[in-house]
Structure 1
Amino acid sequence: MKRFALILSAFVLLTACKKEAHGDANLHITGNIKGLSQGKLYIQKIVDTSLVAIDTIVIDGKKGFESHLKIDSPQMLYLFLDRGQTNSVDNNLPFFAEPGNMTIESSNEEFFARAKITGSKNQKIYEDYVTIKNRFNNDNLDLVKKNLEATRSGNVKQLDSVMAKSDQLLKRRYLYTVNFALKNADHEVGPYIALSEIYDANIKYLDTIRKSMSPKVAQSHYGKMLTKFVADRKKAETTE
């Protein structure tokens, strides 16, 4: 009985120490970067218009990594990989963080392309959006290529056709993004997409997204940002 009491006391003490060590953290991130034995990971967030590190993780022979953070509401964070020797273009990985447990797995060779992020509903919705967004981007690249070819050959008829298709593609992308943000207005990723992808859209669309936000999302970081952004746009357009 005495031994059991000692074990119980030790467990309570260990739990209390862990809680104190992580303070009021509400986001626990664990992960592994396959093939990375030396380097640093920085978890960053945007403050004003700059990326600011909120945690630094040193990789020195460790197999995995973890971080305990406090976030006020779901928001986009960035996992920056500093390999120490090279500065690759794919060294910054955006992920939509939300309170709870998240896992990030990737590789040193293809840090961005191989990333697998789990534990966040907003992240899953964002990935669905990015998949369609990439299709629009690929279609746009094809039109850019055709535009260059028509310019070089002086084919005015083809240039006009490419321009018309470009305008149609842009309208389709904006309408798709508006509808996607509306459909997901009950998640914080909804106002985030509105702010990051279609901030210059017709104010009536942005205002519709704003009005469609759930009360919880409206009080979130991006919800408040969208509300202010729409109000500022309305004020600016009224005074023009």
Structure 2
Amino acid sequence: MTKLNKALSLIILVLIAVSCKKDRDTNFTLNGHIKGIKKGVVYLQKNGDSSDIVDLDSVQIQGEPNFSLHTNIDEPILMYLKLFKNDGEEHYIPFFADKGITEINTTLKNFNFDAKIKGAKQQDLLNEYTDMITKFNNQNLDLMQANFIAQKDNDTIALDSIIRRSNNLIKRKYAFIIQFAMNNKNSAIAPYIALYEMPNANPKYIDSVYYALNDTIKNSFYGKKLNDIISNRNSAAE
């Protein structure tokens, strides 16, 4: 064996050892597959203490569509799978992670929209939530199109009907969001939704979600953030 071959073999062994050590030292693994990818970099990310995004792990892809990313987490939290493919655009898949293994299968062509995520039970709830929100949003798009046609035709009767239906849709959407959070008060998804999906809701509904949480969820990452929002709002009102 030549010196070059020996050196290459040593490098490979070191990389394998480092990879195995990383697997042992972390409690979360993201296994991913991106159909159609030939080259790029994938990142495992989360929100930092401020609004910054923090890189937790990364892998360079060279022809192999399968990859694994690793980190340590203390509790369920929203993370991001980011793909960099040097096209000047940002490509993210948000997902709820918990200790253990999460699997994400997607495509290069529709990286975000084709994502199939299997893992934490909080992610299952997030999938259920986003599926329903998508239905509301699609109904809103239909109403916007109908409104455009009614305005073009100067059909005031149709416009009045569309406005009523639109207002009713908004009420039903917010009612669903609030009820979904309340129905899942024992999950980290509840304070997360109250924080990021109810910005224009009446404060009493946000308070209701928080006070319905059990102590474990109140002391979770999102539970504490929700408490801070409520406390700051109450202090400002005094």
- Give the TM-score band, short-chain normalised: 0.7 to 0.9
Q: Describe the SS at the equivalent of 1:102.
A: strand
**How far apart, CA to CA, are the structure 2 residues paired with 1:17 and 1:43?**
18
Tell whether the 8 Å contact from 2:36 to 2:65 is kept in structure 1 after alignment.
no
1:190 corresponds to = 190
The answer as to 2:163 corresponding to 1:163 is: yes
2:172 corresponds to = 172
- Residue 87 of structure 1 deviates from its aligned partner by 4.7
- Residue 19 of structure 1 deviates from its aligned partner by 7.5
- Residue 63 of structure 1 deviates from its aligned partner by 4.0
1:209 corresponds to = 209
Identity %: 34
**How far apart, CA to CA, are the structure 2 residues paired with 1:97 and 1:165?**
37
**How far apart, CA to CA, are the structure 1 residues paired with 2:213 and 2:132?**
22
**How far apart, CA to CA, are the structure 2 residues paired with 1:174 and 1:235?**
26
**How far apart, CA to CA, are the structure 2 residues paired with 1:168 and 1:110?**
33
2:7 corresponds to = none
CA displacement 1:72-125 (0-9 Å, x = unmatched): 3211111111123x3567x21111111111111212222223222112100010
**How far apart, CA to CA, are the structure 1 residues paired with 2:88 and 2:23?**
31
Give the AA of the match of 1:200: N
1:33 corresponds to = 34
Gaps of 5+ in 2: 1-16
**How far apart, CA to CA, are the structure 2 residues paired with 1:17 and 1:40?**
19
Tell whether the 8 Å contact from 1:203 to 1:234 is kept in structure 2 after alignment.
no
Matches within 5 A, 1:134-145: 134-145=134-145
Give the AA of the match of 1:37: K
Give the AA of the match of 1:83: K
Give RMSD over aligned pairs.
2.1
2:121 corresponds to = 121
**How far apart, CA to CA, are the structure 2 residues paired with 1:23 and 1:220?**
25
The answer as to 2:111 corresponding to 1:105 is: no
**How far apart, CA to CA, are the structure 1 residues paired with 2:45 and 2:22?**
21
Q: 1:228 to 1:62 in 2, by over 3 A?
A: same
**How far apart, CA to CA, are the structure 2 residues paired with 1:50 and 1:140?**
32
1:133 corresponds to = 133
1:13 corresponds to = none
Give the AA of the match of 2:210: R
**How far apart, CA to CA, are the structure 2 residues paired with 1:70 and 1:53?**
12
- Residue 24 of structure 1 deviates from its aligned partner by 4.9
The two structures have a TM-score, normalised by structure 2, of: 0.84
**How far apart, CA to CA, are the structure 1 residues paired with 2:22 and 2:126?**
32
1:94 corresponds to = 94
Tell whether the 8 Å contact from 1:177 to 1:198 is kept in structure 2 after alignment.
yes
The two structures have a TM-score, normalised by structure 1, of: 0.84
- Residue 23 of structure 1 deviates from its aligned partner by 7.2
CA displacement 1:117-145 (0-9 Å, x = unmatched): 11210001000001110010011111111
**How far apart, CA to CA, are the structure 2 residues paired with 1:19 and 1:61?**
22
The answer as to 2:69 corresponding to 1:67 is: yes
Give the AA of the match of 1:188: A
Q: Provide the aligned length of Structure 1 versus Structure 2.
A: 221
**How far apart, CA to CA, are the structure 1 residues paired with 2:141 and 2:22?**
50
**How far apart, CA to CA, are the structure 2 residues paired with 1:228 and 1:74?**
19
Which moves more between the two structures, 75-84 or 41-50? 41-50
2:224 corresponds to = 224
Q: Describe the SS at the equivalent of 1:42.
A: strand
Gaps of 5+ in 1: 1-15
Q: Describe the SS at the equivalent of 1:211.
A: helix
